[in-house]
């Protein structure tokens, strides 16, 4: 069972969205029980059919659980959890209160949350952070229980953005030998394990939504990181905090457009659809016209290549069609974002490398 929580001292919420996640949840909860920092857990179940609800009722009957009648995706479910978390933090100083967005397929080192909180408490200029994220694998265990195989292969050190405006997980696939053990500023945290200052969540929400609910899933973390950058907010990697991730759709840092296209055939059709659609929407909301002058030689060939590759993928074509259909809505959001963003494109452009 999770430790008893002193609600009067609570300033940290761990938010989890589950959808048929029983293969991973026991390992995540074991790691949460071992944490040295007091926290509240909020879990949103997106209509799982694999026994998540029954397991939670049996093992964690007092935990805050919101059960949706259908799968609303990552964005809406996490927005629901964020609203619940903020209501529980209403008597706290939100500049020193935190929300950890955590995938169900994450395992945290015992000191992970403590290191994140300590770093943010001593760096009030930082609005979001993430731990060093390494890869994990499932291997057969005793009975029906799978065991966690932790590796020293890097899963993500944050979102990396290229001049072509392609996003991928920084340093993914490299062996961790301590070469990235210094705290450093990053473009933004990956949505798999992202640590936010509560006051920053409130300030950077648009029309009451932190994650854009039109995205459903995928690229929503890129959209948020870009928005927060445009609002003058900073993000950091905290390598003393460590976690492991069972990533099911791996990032491809060194891949060219053709290799990325080939790998898409191994992805579920719905993932390819969402990725294609949401990429266009991220650009529609955040790409400055001046970016085309500075980085057009990288952006245009990449986008043309992606569109040509989409001709061979029905899921990608549907994604592009949906992106065009939703473009008026995204352009409206672009206008609304412009009203709250304080940093010009030239200030953010150095992050695109």
The pLDDT tens digits of the residues spanning 267-282 come to: 789 999 999 999 999 9
Rounded to whole angstroms, the Cα distance separating 239 from 169 reads 15
Contact 207, 317 (CB under 8 A): no
Tens of pLDDT, residue by residue over 131-183, are: 999 999 877 654 455 677 899 999 999 999 999 999 999 999 999 999 999 99
Q: What domains appear along the chain, each with residue ranges and CATH number? A: 7-245 (3.90.550.10), 257-351 (no CATH)
- Residue range 14-19: mean pLDDT, rounded: 97
Rounded to whole angstroms, the Cα distance separating 116 from 123 reads 11
> For a pLDDT cut of 90, what percent of the chain falls above it?
85
Alpha carbons within 13 angstroms on the beta-carbon side of residue 235 total 30
Question: Mean of the per-residue pLDDT values for the chain?
Answer: 91
Rounded to whole angstroms, the Cα distance separating 100 from 39 reads 10
Q: Which residues of 12-42 are buried (b: 16+ CB within 10 A; e: fewer)?
A: bbbbbbbbbbbebbebbbebbeebebbbbbb
Q: Which residue has the higher pLDDT, 250 or 95?
A: 95
Q: Which pTM was predicted?
A: 0.91
Q: Which residue has the higher pLDDT, 249 or 350?
A: 350
> Does residue 97 surpass a pLDDT of 90?
yes
Tens of pLDDT, residue by residue over 305-336, are: 999 999 999 999 999 999 999 999 999 999 99
Rounded to whole angstroms, the Cα distance separating 99 from 49 reads 27
Orientation angle between helical segments 269-286 and 314-325, nearest 10 degrees: 30
Q: Which of 244, 263, 237 is nearest to 316 (CA)?
A: 263
Question: How confident is the model at residue 138, as a pLDDT?
Answer: 78
Sign of CA dihedral 38, 221, 249, 55: positive
Question: How confident is the model at residue 143, as a pLDDT?
Answer: 45
Question: How confident is the model at residue 74, as a pLDDT?
Answer: 96
Q: Which long-range contacts does 117-125 make (Cβ < 8 Å, 24+ apart)?
A: 117/12, 117/37, 119/183, 119/236, 119/238, 119/240, 119/241, 120/195, 120/197, 121/96, 123/236, 124/95, 125/234
Tens of pLDDT, residue by residue over 201-256, are: 999 999 999 999 999 999 999 999 999 999 999 999 999 999 999 976 555 565 55
């Amino acid at each position: 069972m999770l430790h008893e929580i002193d609600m009067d001292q609570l300033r940290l919420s761990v938010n989890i969205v589950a959808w048929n996640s029983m293969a991973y949840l026991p390992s995540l909860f074991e790691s949460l029980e071992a944490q040295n920092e007091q926290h509240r857990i909020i879990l949103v179940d997106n209509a799982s059919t694999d026994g998540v609800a029954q397991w939670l009722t049996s093992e964690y009957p007092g935990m805050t659980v919101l059960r949706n009648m259908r799968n609303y995706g990552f964005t809406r479910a996490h927005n629901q959890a964020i609203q619940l978390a903020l209501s529980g933090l209403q008597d706290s100083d939100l500049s020193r209160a935190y929300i950890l967005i955590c995938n169900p397929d994450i395992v945290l080192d015992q000191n992970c949350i403590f290191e994140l909180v300590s770093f943010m408490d001593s760096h009030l200029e930082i609005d979001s952070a993430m731990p060093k994220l390494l890869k994990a694998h499932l291997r057969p265990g005793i009975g029906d229980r799978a065991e966690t195989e932790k590796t020293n292969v890097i899963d993500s050190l944050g979102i990396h953005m290229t001049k072509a405006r392609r996003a991928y997980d920084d340093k993914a696939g490299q062996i961790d030998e301590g070469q990235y053990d210094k705290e450093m500023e990053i473009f933004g945290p990956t949505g798999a394990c992202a640590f936010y200052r509560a006051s920053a969540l409130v300030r950077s929400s648009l029309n009451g939504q932190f994650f854009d609910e039109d995205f459903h899933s995928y690229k929503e973390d890129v959209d948020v990181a870009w928005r927060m950058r445009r609002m003058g907010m900073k993000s950091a990697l905290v390598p003393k905090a460590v976690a492991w991730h069972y990533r099911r759709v791996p990032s491809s840092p060194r891949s060219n457009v053709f290799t990325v296209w080939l790998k898409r055939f191994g992805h579920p059709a719905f993932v390819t659809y969402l990725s294609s659609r949401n990429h266009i929407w991220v650009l529609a909301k955040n790409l400055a016209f001046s970016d085309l002058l500075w980085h057009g030689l990288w952006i245009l060939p990449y986008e043309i290549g992606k569109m040509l590759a989409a001709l061979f993928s029905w899921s990608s074509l549907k994604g592009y069609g949906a992106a065009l259909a939703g473009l008026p809505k995204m352009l409206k959001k672009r206008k609304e974002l412009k009203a709250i963003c304080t940093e010009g494109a030239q200030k953010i452009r150095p992050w695109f490398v």
